[in-house]
Amino acid sequence: MTKKGSYRKWVVAAKMVNEQKMSIYKAAKISGVPLSSLKDFLIRDNFELVPKMGRPYALTSDLEIQILNYIIKMQELGFGLTVLQIRKIAHKSHCSWTICPLNKNAISPEIRAGVYVQ
């Protein structure tokens, strides 16, 4: 098979993943393209990125934007924040949630404050 033909197979497989919402594994199997090569092709050619595998993000995107805006505001006022100060701000805003982000269960204020006694 020519190079052009094999490239077309990758494009067809990428369209299957993006337009038909087919899994990468199934598209690779149907089109005859290696799975890892198809993943690399999707990432390299700016198609929709492969969904993140592994642990979920600790902070939501809204919370990250709020922290970023605070950092920029403080920097404009002349108070550059250190890395430790940024971590403390992120931890403080992350711990202000009433729902644990890992298991989605409600947490009482006593447990969050660390003064829960049985």
Please state, in angstroms and rounded to a whole number, the distance separating the CA atoms of residues 41 and 67.
Answer: 34
**Range 8-42 burial, b when 16+ CB lie within 10 A, else e:** ebbeebbebbeeeeeebeebbeebebeeeebbebb
Say what the pLDDT of residue 64 is.
84
The whole-angstrom distance between residue 41's C-alpha and the CA centroid of its chain comes to: 19
> Can you give the pLDDT at residue 85?
83
pLDDT at 117: 47
pLDDT one digit per residue (tens) for the chain, 118 residues: 556 556 677 788 888 887 888 888 888 888 888 888 888 888 776 554 455 567 777 777 788 888 888 888 888 888 887 888 888 877 777 666 555 555 555 555 555 555 444 4
pLDDT value for 111: 56
Residue 99 three-state SS = strand
